[in-house]
Amino acid sequence: GSPTLDGEAYLEADSVIDGVEASSGREVGLLTHALLEQADLCGPLPGEDRLRAQARALMAARGVLLGEPETERAVELACNFWRSPVHEAVSRVGERDLLREAPFLFAQGDGQGDILVSGLLDLAWVEADGLYRIVDYKTNRLEHRTPREVAEGYRLQAQVYSLGALASGAEKVRMDLLFLEQPTDPIVFEYGRSDRGLLEECLAASMAGLREGRFAPAKGRECVVCPVSDLCEAVAPE
């Protein structure tokens, strides 16, 4: 059955997101996120040597050791934030008004009881006109794909995160998927309060399997490095 919290079904928003990278890519992503979480995003681009030193300190603190190519990729991806239009936007806001790694939690009912939905916003702030801005860093290797092509796998994430903001009282929400490999072209999703019903329907549809106890595995790029892939029906020979 579904996991529960205080008698209610509980869902982490990230569990409905497609496009998970393989294990080494995940560690690069975690390191990139950690570097950006600590950085002064409103200031100028920090020196790469400084970011490398921070990367080594972060890896030591977590007991993780990446090779030089992976570490350099994380540093390069972090540097690319300052080459994005998001940097220009946060510079106008100021460091004090930024939310980083901000958790959210809301209850979503579908006629069969509530499911608690949680997630973590990489970066968020509210513009002067009331627009709620959310930025999610993506460290995917694009591999000849455009950010827009890859972003389709994250549409549900954008819908869930935006629904969380609307549920908290926001009138309008903009979510940027910032693909740090190509930072000049963030993919933008925008929703207003009139879209809340549609977003709730999309979330309810995605939770149908959770309600029914169906957790069918889906074959993905990470299957090639999964230690139990030979036991998984998703990659079993037909």
* Number of domains into which the chain is organized: 1
The answer to whether residue 16 is domain-embedded is yes
Question: Which residue, 14, 15, 20, 17, is CA-closest to 220?
Answer: 20
The model's pTM is 0.81
Confidence of residue 17 (pLDDT cuts 50, 70, 90): very low
The mean per-residue pLDDT over the stretch 9-26 comes to 50
Output the domain CATH number for residue 175.
3.90.320.10
Residue 11, pLDDT > 70, answer: no
Predicted local distance difference test score (pLDDT) of residue 19? 38
The answer to whether residue 53 is domain-embedded is yes
The answer to whether residue 82 is domain-embedded is yes
The mean per-residue pLDDT over the stretch 221-225 comes to 62
The answer to whether residue 226 is domain-embedded is no
The answer to whether residue 193 is domain-embedded is yes
Structure tokens at 59: 């890896």
Residues 6+ apart with CB under 8 A from 129: none
The answer to whether residue 208 is domain-embedded is yes
Structure tokens at 212: 């029914």
Q: Write out the residue range of the structural domain in which residue 184 sits.
A: 4-212
The mean per-residue pLDDT over the stretch 168-174 comes to 96
pLDDT tens for residues 34-84?
A: 999 999 999 999 999 999 999 999 999 988 888 999 999 999 999 999 999
* Helix, strand and coil percent figures for the chain, each rounded to 5: 45, 20, 30
The answer to whether residue 201 is domain-embedded is yes
The answer to whether residue 153 is domain-embedded is yes
